Structure 1
């Protein structure tokens, strides 16, 4: 199955994967991004602009909460943009691009890495993207007042499935409390680090008071989705605009099937 993860094989399979949809198929999609800019793992600013411009012409970009709660049926693709970790490029690069297109997004922040006044540098050994810096709280507040939704990614960038219950509960409670104190509003959204979770972790997320938790399964939203394991489509820095378009319209939906098979191998 590892060969299917290569960009070459993804494109090969996409050519033959049946798509019973067109660009205006009523799909509801959550996209995962991390960084936009010049970092080694970041999507380039130019490519990100092209992706957003394509979405504005061929889909509707709405907030994550609206995507999850609006049951009005529309014969159009609806998309919510999400960013994990909370890198400073969201303030410097992504915010102006989205504002120019009258679009919004959700960011899931690691509260332990958000500086009071100065930006903290990323640590690749902890799973961060290399050569990045994190937002400050003033910058998080700017995103908030600009219409972004601010969710939690925990305090630190850790796999909650590998830690004792007390640590898991502490991560969930402390990060939620910090966001709510800083922004003076409820924090309803959580995203699992590395997309990893267990039933126990899901239960703790719900008990802490989050309304939704995002995972990383490659699938579109449906009415049967578990609110504490929301699927998201990952957008990588080596994807062309054609790759991006094919992901949105469904030609790469086979990735979700492969993910399900791998869980049982």
Structure 2
């Protein structure tokens, strides 16, 4: 899709206003597709039944899933107890049909990281496994209208650590501008494709005006622009979720 230039000065909250107060680190869960798991070589799909049980487990423990921007803002106010970040990467169309009704049922929300350069396309970056449709612009607007935070996953899902400077800027800055046009709202969060990042990618995200960015597991970089997340999959039953909750150790204090 054609991408316009950025829309002038950012209106996103300053990152220092989202900096967490002392306390345990945030727990941010990472999901992808919600649907049929029978052909899932990358283990990125969770069945609707499993997601239902996982969200139920959170609620029984007095926890509620929210988008990452809401989580960080609450923590900055000292009010984040009982909140867990829920994220869904890639913007699969099954988010609307399978994930969103379950989020509603359990009174949860989430952040959906999408690819505005592949609207209505498919997961062409995966060499193996089934082709899965991605959300259209209208689908993204429907999710946003339900209170889901929309974040950028780049334009086309490329490894930002292997791009030249021009492509890096386009993937990071232009994707934010494109999503503003799609949703009519500001875009606070970015998610690094494949979870791969380096200081150059982090700098590009910061310079583009985002207020936070999500990685995958803990790495050499940490902070608001390299938030670690916990991968959640079909095999994650209650006891595995509890173990993953106990193992999270990393802070969001600044990069």
Mapping for residues 190-205 of structure 1, pairs under 5 Å: 190-205=190-205
Take 1:209 and 1:72, find their aligned partners in 2: how far apart are those partners?
A: 22
Take 1:135 and 1:200, find their aligned partners in 2: how far apart are those partners?
A: 29
Residues 141, 74 of structure 1: alpha-carbon distance in 2 compared, 3 angstrom cutoff: closer
Mapping for residues 89-108 of structure 1, pairs under 5 Å: 89-108=94-113
Residues 48, 209 of structure 1: alpha-carbon distance in 2 compared, 3 angstrom cutoff: same
Q: Does 1:238 align with 2:235?
A: yes
Instruction: Show structure 1 runs of 5+ residues with no match.
Output: 1-24, 220-224, 257-265
Residues 74, 147 of structure 1: alpha-carbon distance in 2 compared, 3 angstrom cutoff: closer
Take 2:34 and 2:238, find their aligned partners in 1: how far apart are those partners?
A: 15
Mapping for residues 1-265 of structure 1, pairs under 5 Å: 28-39=26-37, 40-41=39-40, 42-58=45-61, 59-70=63-74, 71-73=76-78, 76-115=81-120, 120-123=121-124, 125=126, 130-218=130-218, 226-248=223-245, 250=246, 252-253=247-248
Residues 91, 213 of structure 1: alpha-carbon distance in 2 compared, 3 angstrom cutoff: same
Question: What corresponds to 1:18 in structure 2?
Answer: none
SS in 2 for 1:150: strand
CA shift for structure 1 position 131? 3.4
CA shift for structure 1 position 74? 6.3
TM-score (norm 2): 0.79
Instruction: Show structure 2 runs of 5+ residues with no match.
Output: 1-22, 251-255
Q: Would you say the 8 A contact 2:54–2:237 is kept in 1?
A: no
Take 2:185 and 2:155, find their aligned partners in 1: how far apart are those partners?
A: 18
Give the aligned length.
220
Q: Would you say the 8 A contact 2:69–2:188 is kept in 1?
A: no
Q: Would you say the 8 A contact 2:66–2:111 is kept in 1?
A: no
Question: What corresponds to 1:5 in structure 2?
Answer: none
CA shift for structure 1 position 124? 5.0
Take 1:145 and 1:209, find their aligned partners in 2: how far apart are those partners?
A: 23
Residues 126, 213 of structure 1: alpha-carbon distance in 2 compared, 3 angstrom cutoff: farther
TM-score (norm 1): 0.76
Take 1:124 and 1:204, find their aligned partners in 2: how far apart are those partners?
A: 22
Q: Would you say the 8 A contact 1:155–1:175 is kept in 2?
A: yes
SS in 1 for 2:34: coil
- Cα deviation digits, residues 47-101 of structure 1 (max 9, x gap): 1100001111111323311211223556954201001100011011000111111
